[in-house]
């Protein structure tokens, strides 16, 4: 088991490196450009696609979901919490985690791929127990990600991507676990009638054991249903679940997530705001998470 997980982790690192370089080995999986759509294959990180050929603005916010879309080549996008609060209560101990911004920075490197960096520059963890209170403040862990779109680059009824990531342990103990970890996400979306979209995000992670330096598998999945309420407002309903197979004791989490995003100004179609809340459904899940965020493309 440990060897298999280690091989999977190393494989995700290899895929991350391949995608950052443009993923030429997966080129045969690309859906042909539909008739009438611009061919974006000639554009790169240093040869940006013209503004009048940009795809519709698309983000991995809000909710826990990751969408199959990538940033157009040569363009930059940020997606960030403005504020994020998570509340956990178990065994007489409450833990509140506050993120003061949490930006994901994205660069489009080809017509099919982008590379991404995420880190919370200021994170505070407050633990209250019968024995007293503890406050920790510092930078969060650094996440390096890459996303490769291999189906319907310009939208359509079906889209799919592969999204490996690696976590670099930049957070101090108590905020992070000082372990390199990683995983693989496979976002898949389906366009439904009446302006609905259904998204699935199966994910497998390789995490460090809580009691030793060994590794174990963690599995996540979600179903997200979104609906465009107008040209500028979208609502989201999501059911998320996780099974953490830690040898010290497996844990099951689940949450019911609600969110809304909107483009506030017609003259700024690449600027989006959002708010949302995640409600825990099991004892092991944070009871409540609330956030507000902003995304913008340049």
**pLDDT recorded at residue 26:** 30
User: Two tokens at 115?
Assistant: 């590379």
The enclosing domain of 71 has a CATH number of 2.40.160.40
Residue 122 is given by DSSP the state: S
Q: Is residue 292 part of a domain?
A: yes
**pLDDT recorded at residue 11:** 42
d(CA 88, CA 92): 10
**pLDDT recorded at residue 214:** 94
Q: Is residue 36 part of a domain?
A: no
* Domain count of the fold of the chain: 1
pLDDT tens-place values along the chain, 298 residues long: 444 444 444 444 443 443 334 333 333 223 334 445 567 788 999 899 999 899 989 999 999 999 999 999 999 999 999 999 999 998 889 999 999 999 999 999 999 999 999 999 999 999 999 989 999 999 999 999 999 998 876 667 899 999 999 999 999 999 999 999 999 999 999 999 999 999 999 999 999 999 998 999 999 999 999 999 999 999 999 999 999 999 999 999 999 999 999 999 999 999 999 999 999 999 999 999 999 999 999 9
Q: Is residue 35 part of a domain?
A: no
pTM: 0.84
Residue pair 245/207 in contact by the 8 Å Cβ criterion: no
**pLDDT recorded at residue 155:** 63
Sorted by sequence, the CB contacts under 8 Å of residue 135 that are 6+ apart come out as: 124, 125, 126, 127
Q: Is residue 43 part of a domain?
A: no
Domain that holds residue 6: 2-25+59-297
Q: Is residue 186 part of a domain?
A: yes
Among candidate residues 244, 51, 242, 23, the one with its CA nearest the CA of residue 112: 23
d(CA 2, CA 209): 11
d(CA 248, CA 211): 7
Q: Is residue 51 part of a domain?
A: no
Q: Is residue 250 part of a domain?
A: yes
Q: Is residue 169 part of a domain?
A: yes
């Amino acid at each position: 088991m440990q060897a298999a997980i280690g091989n999977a982790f190393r494989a995700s690192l290899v895929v991350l490196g391949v995608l950052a370089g443009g993923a030429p080995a997966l080129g045969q999986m690309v859906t042909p450009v539909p008739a009438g759509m611009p061919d974006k294959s000639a554009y790169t990180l240093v040869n940006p696609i013209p503004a009048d050929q940009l795809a519709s603005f698309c983000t991995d916010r809000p909710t826990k979901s990751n969408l199959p879309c990538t940033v157009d080549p040569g363009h930059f996008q940020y997606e960030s919490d403005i504020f994020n609060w998570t509340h956990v209560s178990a065994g007489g101990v409450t833990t509140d985690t506050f993120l003061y911004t949490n930006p994901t920075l994205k660069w489009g490197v080809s017509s099919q791929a982008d590379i991404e960096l995420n880190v919370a520059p200021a994170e505070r963890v407050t633990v209250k127990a019968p024995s007293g209170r503890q406050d920790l403040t510092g930078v969060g862990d650094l996440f390096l990600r890459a996303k490769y779109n291999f189906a319907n680059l310009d939208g359509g009824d079906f889209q799919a991507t592969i999204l490996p990531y690696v976590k670099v342990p930049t957070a101090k103990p108590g905020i992070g676990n000082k372990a390199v970890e990683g995983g693989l996400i496979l976002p898949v979306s389906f366009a439904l009638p009446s302006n609905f979209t259904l998204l699935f995000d199966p994910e497998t992670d390789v995490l460090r054991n809580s009691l030793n330096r060994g590794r174990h598998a963690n599995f996540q999945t979600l179903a997200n249903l979104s609906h465009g309420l107008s040209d500028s407002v979208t609502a989201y309903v999501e059911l998320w679940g996780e099974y953490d197979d830690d040898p010290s004791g497996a844990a099951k989490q689940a949450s019911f997530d609600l969110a809304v995003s909107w483009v506030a100004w017609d003259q700024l179609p690449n600027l989006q705001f959002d708010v949302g809340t995640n409600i825990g459904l099991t004892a092991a899940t944070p009871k409540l998470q609330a956030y507000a965020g902003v995304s913008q493309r340049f």
